[in-house]
Structures are given as C-alpha cells and as structure tokens.
Chain A
Amino acid sequence: MTDHHHPLPTSPIEERVNALESLLIEKGVLDVAAIDSVVDYYEHQVGPMNGAKVVARAWVDPDYRARLLTDATTAIAELGFGGAEGEHMVVVENTPEVHNVVVCTLCSCYPWPVLGLPPTWYKSPPYRSRMVREPRVLLAEMGCPIPDDVEIRVWDSSAEVRYLVLPMRPAGSEGHDENALAAMITRDAMIGVATL
C-alpha cells in the first residue's frame, strides 16, 4: 500500500459525519432509535452526581469507606453504579499527607459510571502531557495549590483500572447529612484537580 501525504482535512466535519452516518444506517450497523437511548443515558442520566453519592457515603459510613478503598467496584455497585469504563474501579484517598490526581496520558480513560463522559480539558494535550511532568505547577495553575509538605500522587490510567479520588471532607461539614454532603462534592475534586 502506498502512503499518501495527509494534509489536514478540508471537508466540514458535519459533512463527514453525514456521510459515514448515512452509510452505517444503510448497512444496518447503526440503528438510530436503539443507540439514541445510549446517547441519552450518557448525556443526561450519568455524571458526577453519581460519584458524589459514593464520596458522601464514604464520609458518613466508615464501613462503606473501608469497602470502597479495598474493593471499589463492588462498593460502587452497592449504590447502583457500574458498567462500561467502570468495570475495574480503584478509589484513591486524599489525606493531610497525600493528594491524588488522575490523568490518562495515552488517550482519555475516565470512570464513566461515576463521573460521566470526561470534560474537554481532561482529554487535551496540555493536561495529558503536563500532569505527569509537573503536577504541582499544573495543579496550582488550575487553581488547586498543594502545600509543599503534601505528596502529590499522579495516577496514569494506562491499563484497565479507572480511578476515582476520595477528597477530604471539608471542615465545617460535621452537621451535614449525606445529601447535603453530596451537593458539596465537585467533579474536579473527584479527578483531583480541586479540593473542597
């Protein structure tokens, strides 16, 4: 096979989607009605609110927290969350000594059942290249300065495990119930680019 030089595409992306989509429908590969329910699920029904419930439960229930840290996939399934890109979960816990942050340098691996589909920045070359090389600088740039005496542990999800960060419970939240706690928890804190 001859390799051609590939200039950057000039045809509008919408037209390329139209072309492939129409062919896949004709070939019987794409059943729009069937797959629309999958799209709707990822667009509207799954997201960081799931992960927030997991974190809030871990904050109020020490036994659950222990199960979450030893067998995260099973503990997360207790709350009804699981499926594609969440089959092999590991939860890493932030402490006063350790701050965890997750990246995928090779592509865009991300725990879909607990965080939904990833934001654009998580998939971007600046984040993927720099988070392993200069995590402390990049976290500060992203508004998450980490004290010098705290170790930053970067987790590059390069195989089958998908990671969720268990943030530290914020001071002053002692009286909050599980729902109020869940409302305080952000997606970015569960990736590790924010604290609470």
Chain B
Amino acid sequence: MHDLGGVQGFGAVEVAADEPIFHHDWERRAFRLTVACLLSGHLRNRFRHAIERMEPAWYLSSPYYEHWLTSAATGTVEAGIVTREELDARLGASYPLASPIRAPQLSDPGQSIQEHRFAVGDAVRVREWHPLGHTRAPRYVQGKRGKVVRLDGVFSVPDVAYHCDRTRREPTCSVRFEAVELWGEPGDPVHVDVWQSYLDPAQP
C-alpha cells in the first residue's frame, strides 16, 4: 500500500502548525529503538520492506512511527534477535507484525555496473515489473516514457539487496516524465530517480 503516487481517493493534506518532532513519548521511543536496530545492522537493510509488508488497512490507518515500530519488531524477529513468542509473552497478547516476505531469496546478485548506460537527454522507458519483493520503481511510472535529466551516483540496487546476501551496484539517474504520458492529460512534469536497470531505451 506504500506505493502511493497517483492513487486517488485521498482528501486534503492536513497541516498542523508548530508541530512537535514527536507528538508522544512513545514516538520518541519507537524512533530510538529503531535507530538502535538500524545502527546495530540487525534489520539487514530491510527496514523499508517490512513497512511495505504491513497489511494495507493497517498501514493507512496507523501513525508514522507505528510503521517504524512494526518494522523494527518484524525485522528483529526475522533476524532472530527476538522471537515472536517473546514479544507475545511480553505484550500479553499477539504482537502485530508485518506479513511474511513473499519474494524468493536471490542466490546471485548479478554483475555490478559502474558506467552510465544513458546520457542526459536520452529517451527512456521504465520497464514493467511488479516484483513480489522490494523495488524503488514507483508503479505510476512503470511502462512510461521519459527523458533523462541528471546523472547521479552508483548505488546498491535495493531490489537486490533486500533479497540477497550480497549486493549489486548500478548508476542512478533522474528521469522527467510529462504529465500527458503519466496521466493522459496536460499538467506539470514529475521527476523520478531510478536505478539504471529499471530503464530501457525508448524512441524519442
């Protein structure tokens, strides 16, 4: 449910004036324990994917730091740091966790790439791929044509890293999509940052 770009049905953005960083002490403590888990390496960089695996109605109806808490709990159970039974016993109830990982574990991360395949100005199309696991290719640009506007650094591909013991590194770039391509009507352009393997060459 996390892939929200262009999803319809949501209303006004509610802006609170002079909002505190943490609204309640539990938010501060959820932030603190998640930071500790991240710094310890126990979440095996699956932090975002555990949030993405929260049941959709729960994801949409829960406050932000409940996502962090749930990811930390789910990730530490999956890493074997704590057990579900320990959590249930400590809570005195069934401890709510995100859904299990559905993507297969990769044995081979594939070859890392250092060189950019595309140049600024190149026409590209985002491949259509909706994996069961983690990806940073938003659904609203999949299959859409755009133009490369900026070349960025070489980074680990999250689609691989979240589901493999090793990593694959690839160049990233920013792609401009015209509104008519995304939504079928005129409007303002959107730029999306992508790993190189998300893209295929396209006709200008």
Residues in A lying within 8 Å of B, measured CB to CB: 1, 3, 6, 8-11, 13-24, 27, 29-32, 35-36, 38-39, 42-43, 88, 90, 105-108, 116-117, 119-121, 123-130, 132-136, 138, 141-142, 151-161
Contact = CB atoms under 8 A, between A and B. Distances in A.
B29 interface: yes
Interface residues of B, number: 80
A63 B73 CA distance: 48
Contacts of A32: 32
Contact of A35 (B24, B36, B58, B63): B36
Contacts of B16: 119-121
B15 interface: yes
Interface of B: 2-8, 10-16, 19, 21-24, 26, 28-33, 35-37, 39-40, 42, 48, 51, 55, 57-58, 60-64, 66, 69, 72-73, 76, 81-82, 86-87, 90-93, 95-96, 99-100, 136-138, 140, 150, 152-153, 155, 172, 174, 182-183, 187-195
A91 to B, nearest CB: 12
Contacts of B12: 126, 141
B35 A129 contact: no
Contacts, number: 215
B35 A39 contact: yes
A154 B2 contact: no
A29 B172 contact: no
B33 A21 contact: yes
A23 B90 contact: yes
17 contacts: A3-B100, A6-B58, A13-B63, A16-B73, A17-B69, A21-B29, A38-B35, A106-B2, A117-B21, A119-B15, A126-B11, A127-B13, A129-B6, A133-B6, A135-B187, A142-B15, A151-B188
Contact of B32 (A6, A18, A30, A124): A30
A160 B157 CA distance: 10
